[in-house]
Structure 1
Amino acid sequence: MNEAEILERIRAIFKENFAIEPERVTPDAHLFEDLDLDSIDAVDLAIKLQEMTGRRIKPEEFKSVRTVGDVIGAVESLLAAQG
């Protein structure tokens, strides 16, 4: 799965779970300031990413995630760990 495919999957997650329009979900978008997620939403997002990748996300890995680009990086590292 490449970066563009990951972004598309993330956009779908945001639309389905948080009613956020896909065009707002850009790599530079800040999860909390731009997309108005709260800490509970962040937990929900982590769960959806676990379902998407089939890998468990360690809380300490997800604490540094602030932007959609960070989410893409986290997914890439989870997928790389599978290989």
Structure 2
Amino acid sequence: MQNYDDIFPLVRDILVDMFELDAEQIQPNAKLYDDLDIDSIDAVDLVVKIKEVTGRKVKPEDFKSVRTIDDVVIAVQKLLED
């Protein structure tokens, strides 16, 4: 599970489950804070969940510049490649 097409549905399902979002809202260019109303505490919860799901240690700096769903998917992809 290292390519974008495998990771995007995983990220989408996590967001739907954790934040009760509609799957249709979760598009690659959707902005976490502006479009999906995810705040900084939610973002931390998301990082914790990604750590649980991937079994990888997540460095906060890897997610510091994440702004969109696409950014999250790419960050997870890099995490899995390491």
> TM-score, normalised on structure 1?
0.92
Partner of residue 70, structure 1: 71
Q: How does 1:1-83 map to 2 (within 5 A)?
A: 1=1, 2-81=3-82
AA of the residue aligned to 1:6: I
Whole-Å Cα distance in 1 between the matches of residues 21 and 43 of structure 2? 14
Which secondary structure does the structure 1 equivalent of 2:44 belong to? helix
Size of the alignment, in residue pairs? 81
> TM-score, normalised on structure 2?
0.93
Whole-Å Cα distance in 2 between the matches of residues 23 and 5 of structure 1? 17
Higher relative contact order (CA 8 A, sep 6+): 2
RMSD value, Cα: 0.8
CA deviation after TM superposition for structure 1 residue 51, in Å: 1.3
Divergent runs of 4+, >2 A: none
Unpaired runs of at least 5, structure 1: none
AA of the residue aligned to 1:5: D
Whole-Å Cα distance in 2 between the matches of residues 61 and 3 of structure 1? 17
Percent identity of paired positions between Structure 1 and Structure 2: 51
